[in-house]
Structure 1
Amino acid sequence: MVARVTQYTLDVEDVDLMVTFWSGALGYTVEQGDDGSAKLWPADGATGPTVWLQGSGTAKRGKNRLHLDLVSDGDPGAEVQRLIGLGARHADVGQTGEEQFVVLADPEDNEFCILNAQPTRP
């Protein structure tokens, strides 16, 4: 028996702002909760974990200890620009410039990466 990732939960200050960003970024559909939270679901036929945006009422502090690594189904550079257009920004977490990914932050400063390629086993 093993555990599998099924959902990514993110505490957010502004649920509506983050629903707009993350549903647009991932192409997920939105289910608003009665408690002010929102669950994002992969598009029909797509795979991937759900995302639960849980209102916390407080701003993020410090660097994330867990973050998403995303891969584009097209050009990674174009995907970075698309995400910036949705409200992301470049983030510096100490990268050297030699990485095979770009670090971005969402509108509430949660870091995530756009990988240049799908991870492969050695």
Structure 2
Amino acid sequence: MEIKHRMIVLDAADIDAVSTFWAGFLGGTVEKWGDRWHSIWVDGEWALGVQSAPNHVRPDWPDGAPQQIHFDFYFEGLEAWDAAHERVTGLGARLLKATDDRTAPRGIQVYADPAGHPFCLCWVPAAD
């Protein structure tokens, strides 16, 4: 058996908001396949799907409704991480958990996209 495509699909009540958010953050474009499905394309490749789920229950990490999926994005150095933070918050992400120590060589903050899907922005030391 040969798998032709591998796709992460997010459910969302407002697929326009979620598609626009992820395309904006990933530097991609949205291809709308009707009003129930959108595809996010990055560098000519199919990167992510967003499916209409009118009854979607927003995850309430960490104590409420369980998260259904999450992404971790790693950046080398705080400067790149700061730029990612500005980008996602400018696109509508909510900060769920701030880091305890921005001076640490490695760290993480947890955010949510417009539909409440949690994701992490992480920093690691810059490569020499």
**Which category of TM-score, normalised to the shorter sequence, fits these structures?**
0.7 to 0.9
Farther-moved stretch of structure 1 (9-18 vs 54-63): 54-63
Task: Provide the C-alpha distance between the structure 1 equivalents of 2:91 and 2:8, rounded to a whole number of angstroms.
Answer: 20
Of Structure 1 and Structure 2, the greater strand share is in 2
Aligned-residue offset at 1:27 = 1.0
RMSD of Structure 2 on Structure 1 (CA): 2.9
Letter in 2 for 1:85: G
Work out which of the residue numbers 108, 117, 122 in structure 2 matches 1:115: 122
Q: Give the percent of matched residue pairs that are identical in Structure 1 and Structure 2.
A: 29
**Equivalent residue number for residue 112 of structure 2:** 105
| Partner-residue secondary structure (3-state), 1:116 | strand
Task: Provide the C-alpha distance between the structure 1 equivalents of 2:95 and 2:54, rounded to a whole number of angstroms.
Answer: 24
Task: Provide the C-alpha distance between the structure 2 equivalents of 1:88 and 1:11, rounded to a whole number of angstroms.
Answer: 16
Work out which of the residue numbers 77, 94, 106 in structure 2 matches 1:89: 94
Q: Which of structures 1 and 2 has the bigger CA Rg?
A: 2
Aligned-residue offset at 1:35 = 4.9
Gaps of 5+ in 1: none
Gaps of 5+ in 2: 60-64
TM-score, normalization by structure 2: 0.72
**Structure 2 contact 29–42 (Cα < 8 Å) conserved:** yes
Work out which of the residue numbers 47, 67, 72 in structure 2 matches 1:64: 67
TM-score, normalization by structure 1: 0.75
**Equivalent residue number for residue 62 of structure 2:** none
Give the number of equivalent residue pairs: 111
Letter in 1 for 2:41: W
